[in-house]
Copies of this chain bind each other. A is one copy, B any other.
Amino acid sequence: MSHHNNIPFDKLFDPQAIAIVGISKSPYGGAFFLRSLQTVGFPKPIYLVNAKLAGTKISGCEIYPSIQSLPEDPFPDLLIIAVAAEGSPEIIEQAGQKGIPFVHIFSSGFSEVGKEGEILEVEILNRARMHGVRIIGPNCLGAYNPRARTAIGENMSAVPGNVAFIGQSGGLSATIGLNGPSRGYYFSKIISIGNQVDLDVLDFLRYFRDDPETRIISAYIENLKRDGNQFVPLLQSITPNKPVVVWKGGISNAGQVAVKSHTGGLAGNFQLWHAMAQQTGVILVDNFEELSEMNLALSMLPIPQTRGVAILTVGGGLSVQFTDACEITGLTVPPLSAATQDILRRFIPDVNTNIRNPIDLGADGLKADTYGRVIKILADEPQISSIIFIRDPERFNHYARVFQIPSETDFGNIFVESIAQGKPTGKIVAFVPAIMVDGEQTRATVARFVQTLQQKQIMAFDNIAAAAKCIYRLWKYGDYLRRRKVREGQLRPVSDN
């Protein structure tokens, strides 16, 4: 049903004007979209439609009596419907007569509520087809494009990035739109697709495949609406050039029931999704945090060429714990070469340390620059593609005193600077905090330190399990690309560690 080449997506993501139906004095419904567009600074006209309030203004925007009466220039390329579900067929009819190419239906009350809603969905689709109108939704938040300053929630970032997100949940789409920039990556576009009565996951996957502003594609998918047989070949046409991250919602039985009530879909079997990932190189993740983390990782980190990880810490127990976590996930913690161990031994004393890998730096590791010195030396270890270092920012104040460095911040800066300078090209360098005294102060201190790292393009994870999982998935994606090249004769087979 979808004809990608014929869909003028530019008008959806960069409309000349936007019209909103369903606005009143209430702060909800249409007013939510008005506020969202105004807080992000949408520079083009926003037309409001309300017969009773026609001729007045809300928040500086003109109210028109009908869709028919909306201006021709600039033309409303996008109409947002925020009225009760029953009213939407008539509005789509009018939008069609007006020639509006895209209608985004915010309203819920369609297939997710049962039979009546399903009938309504058929009706809006018929009307839309008749006039060539394309529908986003219903039951969704629509399109976010920081370049055009459109938004799906209040206070969204106007900073453009290169990560796209397709979300079958409005709440999660808006949340990731805020979460990404707060973690250090930005979006090319986000599309909240809801019940997918017309435009669906596949349409937007095709669009983002060809969108020059998108380098990474991520999605929260509860179900495929149609064209399931096109899913695998479509993804295979994307992953060699752009990584695709998919979080599949509704993988459990009860989760599938929850999907039915959420977006009216039938969530497919998890085994099938895993098989799909194997065939396509899609990076499957398990939840919101992992999806956002993977977007950040793909933005910030190289794809590891081997599974080998070096672990840098102070303390034997931590060494054992972190090694276990990496190996259980599928990564390896191989011993360093004798040559590298010799170099490390020159400045790491012999007592209560381990330089084999995991590297336990002992008391010497408490200094501000030891980690950076070690990381630099690891450049020459070909079997090591990733370096995970563990520190305790809550104690930086203490170390600053011990090593006579002015302040906690200075200590942190020296620490981060020496790591940034030592960071070997093409290798992952990632941080995991060690938390002792938990609570507001420690969490704030760690978050501040993570911010400092972020500014130097060093990624931070909440815990070792998350770091290991993410790095393993990156490796697996690289491995998929390698195997595929071998299969396609572009690469000679090599044994991978």
A435 and B258 contacting across the interface, CB-CB below 8 Å: no
SS class of chain A's interface: helix, strand, loop or mixed?
helix
CA distance A261 to B326 in the complex (A): 18
Q: Is A255 an interface residue (CB 8 A)?
A: yes
Give the residues in chain B near A178, CB-CB below 8 Å: 436-437
Interface residues contributed by chain A, number (CB under 8 Å): 76
B316 and A258 contacting across the interface, CB-CB below 8 Å: yes
B171 and A318 contacting across the interface, CB-CB below 8 Å: yes
B287 and A321 contacting across the interface, CB-CB below 8 Å: yes
B354 and A287 contacting across the interface, CB-CB below 8 Å: no
Give the residues in chain B near A220, CB-CB below 8 Å: 317
Give the residues in chain B near A428, CB-CB below 8 Å: none
Within 8 A of B (CB), among A230-267: 249-255, 257-259, 261-263
CA distance A363 to B319 in the complex (A): 46
Give chain B nearest CB distance to A278 CB in angstroms: 19
Give the residues in chain B near A262, CB-CB below 8 Å: 316-317, 319-320, 354, 360
Give the residues in chain B near A254, CB-CB below 8 Å: 323, 326-327, 332-334, 358
Q: Is A183 an interface residue (CB 8 A)?
A: yes
Question: How would residues 17 to 47 of chain A score, 1 for a CB under 8 Å from any chain B CB and 0 otherwise?
Answer: 0000000000010000000000000000000
CA distance A289 to B321 in the complex (A): 11
Within 8 A of B (CB), among A413-462: 434-440, 442-444, 446-448, 451, 462
Copies in the complex: 2
Give the residues in chain B near A351, CB-CB below 8 Å: 108-109
CA distance A286 to B326 in the complex (A): 12
B451 and A356 contacting across the interface, CB-CB below 8 Å: no
Contact with A316, one of B179, B261, B436 (Cβ below 8 angstroms): B261
Contact with A324, one of B175, B250, B289, B318 (Cβ below 8 angstroms): B250
CA distance A451 to B441 in the complex (A): 12
Q: Is A328 an interface residue (CB 8 A)?
A: yes
Give chain B nearest CB distance to A443 CB in angstroms: 4
CA distance A439 to B319 in the complex (A): 28
B259 and A320 contacting across the interface, CB-CB below 8 Å: yes
CA distance A387 to B358 in the complex (A): 40
Q: Is A465 an interface residue (CB 8 A)?
A: yes
Contact with A317, one of B109, B249, B444 (Cβ below 8 angstroms): B249
B451 and A320 contacting across the interface, CB-CB below 8 Å: no
Task: List chain A positions with a Cβ less than 8 A from chain B.
Answer: 28, 108-109, 167-172, 175, 178-179, 182-183, 220, 222, 249-255, 257-259, 261-263, 286-289, 314-321, 323-328, 332-335, 351-352, 354, 356, 358, 360, 363, 434-440, 442-444, 446-448, 451, 462-465
Contacts A178-B436, A252-B324 known; list 9 others, CB within 8 Å.
A167-B317, A171-B315, A171-B316, A172-B317, A252-B327, A261-B316, A261-B360, A262-B319, A262-B354
